[in-house]
């Protein structure tokens, strides 16, 4: 992120001294000699910090602070005063100035004040980013897996993370962990110490979409009482995660495409282009290529965001993770609810392995949380799962594995045939109330054949 400082002073020697000194400390600096010039520079240079003399030839620097804050309330101000103007400095602080320094000063003093100011700017920026988020970075879950395919995907994601300018598109069903993958990429990149702004595109009203992403100028439209920075501008230097990108209104997609091509935005009602340095990670559970073919998503935007695609497999396609993740969630909620539940009953484990998990990892997590709330001791039983889930777990064999064949992925045919056979036998016996002769007749096999298969089950 660029650190932009504007110096406003009518003494050329002070402007030159501050400009040279601050540039040595790697700040981007612009100097002006008057309030009139400063008004223009505020809009074009967009300083984050203003070093302002209180006595200028064309006006009072303290009165100018009101104008600065009306343009952008986040701009911090350090005022410069002569030795006898301490009261002026106090007045400036009342108007929102951050610090004051008396003339003459040395650059070491200025360096300390400017460094402290930017530390506060970054802190406030992070507070703004995480405001109203229910889950902070501390304690966020990492991606846990025992599946070799997922492990390979994480290695790929780590390589992508190191390529700082690459845009990533994460796809997968609802609940597979697309946001966690975005976190993983950000946290393994050079931007890991910078902000990550998360935008749920589906949650933004159509009429406010442009303002939320790109910001707006004061009086840009009815109700715009002050300047507002958009999420891309807030994330300058960091990462933007566009979740559910397939929900972006078609008419707004062109503006997003234009930004992705040059990383320059314009606030609503603004004329000045603002350059920002952000990495973009997008995610969707929709088939964007199908949406392109239907005219619901721009083809040029699709190819712009699909530089590196990462597809997260559904939980039913990595069954070795089901009980592994269930145990992880049980431990987590044991600690959260101060309980000591001892794993899962055999019945619960078997049926969890047989379930298709349409809600994926999110559904599994919610299921375990509910069971841990309800049950107080022992192993978690199937009876502690919601009745609707119990019904799904104990009924209907899932043919989702056929999708694996469509993707060219190998399956264990013997295992699936055995499971299907056992399902049919159990259901027939249930219907016939345990009468083996009637069940065999229903299955169109001999009673002896049924008995032999039951012996194999046991």
Give 186-208 pLDDT, tens digit per residue: 999 999 888 899 999 999 988 88
Task: Using pLDDT thresholds of 50, 70 and 90, give the confidence band for residue 145.
Answer: very high
Separation between Cα atoms, residue 253 and residue 210, nearest integer Å: 10
pLDDT tens digits, 51-102: 999 888 888 888 999 888 888 888 999 998 876 667 877 888 888 888 888 8
Residue 30 in 3-state DSSP? Answer: strand
Name the one residue in this structure whose structure tokens are 């990533």.
Answer: 168
Residue 177 confidence (pLDDT) above 70: yes
Confidence (pLDDT) at 379 = 92
Residues 6+ apart with CB under 8 A from 164: 189, 190, 191, 279
Separation between Cα atoms, residue 49 and residue 114, nearest integer Å: 8
Percent of all residues in the chain with a pLDDT value above 70, rounded to a whole number = 90
The pair of structure tokens assigned to 241 is: 């995660």
Domain 412-457 in the same topology as domain 4-130: no
Name the one residue in this structure whose structure tokens are 């841990």.
Answer: 372
**Residue ranges of domains in the chain:** 4-130, 149-311, 315-393, 412-457
Name the one residue in this structure whose structure tokens are 């709330």.
Answer: 373
CB atoms within 10 A of CB 211: 19
Residue 150 confidence (pLDDT) above 60: yes
pLDDT tens digits, 432-457: 888 898 889 889 999 888 988 888 87
pLDDT tens digits, 293-338: 999 999 999 999 999 999 999 998 899 999 999 999 999 999 999 9
Q: Which CATH superfamily groups domain 412-457? A: Homeodomain-like (1.10.10.60)
pLDDT tens digits, 388-421: 566 555 555 555 566 566 656 677 788 778 878 8
CATH architecture of 149-311: 3-Layer(aba) Sandwich (3.40)
Q: Identify the helix (H) or strand (E) that includes residue 347.
A: helix 346-354
CB atoms within 10 A of CB 331: 14
Domain 315-393 of CATH type 1.10.8.60: yes
Confidence (pLDDT) at 424 = 87
Confidence (pLDDT) at 372 = 92
Residue 345 confidence (pLDDT) above 80: yes
* pTM for the full predicted model: 0.67
Q: CATH fold of 4-130, please?
A: Rossmann fold (3.40.50)
């Amino acid at each position: 992120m660029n650190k932009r400082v504007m110096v406003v002073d009518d003494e050329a020697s002070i402007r030159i001294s501050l400009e040279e000194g601050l540039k040595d400390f790697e700040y981007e600096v612009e100097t002006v000699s008057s309030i009139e010039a400063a008004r223009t520079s505020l809009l074009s240079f967009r300083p984050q910090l203003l070093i302002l003399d209180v006595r200028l030839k064309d006006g009072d620097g303290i009165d100018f602070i009101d104008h600065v804050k009306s343009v952008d309330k986040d701009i911090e101000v350090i005022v410069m005063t002569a030795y006898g103007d301490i009261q002026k400095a106090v007045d400036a602080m009342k108007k929102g100035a951050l610090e004051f320094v008396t003339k003459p000063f040395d650059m070491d003093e200025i360096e300390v004040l400017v460094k402290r100011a930017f530390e506060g700017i970054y802190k406030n920026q992070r507070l703004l980013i995480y405001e109203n988020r229910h889950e902070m970075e501390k304690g966020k879950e990492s991606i846990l897996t025992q599946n070799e395919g997922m492990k390979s995907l994480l290695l790929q994601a780590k390589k992508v993370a190191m390529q700082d300018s690459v845009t990533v598109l994460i796809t997968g069903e609802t609940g597979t962990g697309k946001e966690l993958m975005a976190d993983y990429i950000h946290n393994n990149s050079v931007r890991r110490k910078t902000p990550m702004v998360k935008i749920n595109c589906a949650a933004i009203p159509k009429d406010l979409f442009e303002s939320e992403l790109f910001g707006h100028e004061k009086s840009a439209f009815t109700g715009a009482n002050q300047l507002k920075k958009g999420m891309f501008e807030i994330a300058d230097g960091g990462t933007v995660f566009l979740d559910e990108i397939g929900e972006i209104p078609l008419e707004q997609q062109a503006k997003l495409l234009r930004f992705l091509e040059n990383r320059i935005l314009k606030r609503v009602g603004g004329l000045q282009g603002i350059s920002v340095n952000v990495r973009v990670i997008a995610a969707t559970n929709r088939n964007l290529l199908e949406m392109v073919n239907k005219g619901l998503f721009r083809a040029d935007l699709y190819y712009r965001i699909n530089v590196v695609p990462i597809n997260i497999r559904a939980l039913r396609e990595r069954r070795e993770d089901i009980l592994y993740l269930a145990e992880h969630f049980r431990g987590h909620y044991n600690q959260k609810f101060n309980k000591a539940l001892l794993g899962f009953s055999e019945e619960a484990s078997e049926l969890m392995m047989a379930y298709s998990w349409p809600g994926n990892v999110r559904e599994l997590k919610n299921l375990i949380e509910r069971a841990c709330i309800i049950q107080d001791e022992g192993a978690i039983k199937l009876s502690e799962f919601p009745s609707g889930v119990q019904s799904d777990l104990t009924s209907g064999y899932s043919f989702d594995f056929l999708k694996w064949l469509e993707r060219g992925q190998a399956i264990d045919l013997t295992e699936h045939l055995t499971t299907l056979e056992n399902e049919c036998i159990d259901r027939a016996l249930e219907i016939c109330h345990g009468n083996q002769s009637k069940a065999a007749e229903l299955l169109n096999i001999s009673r002896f054949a049924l008995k032999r298969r039951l012996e194999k089950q046991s």
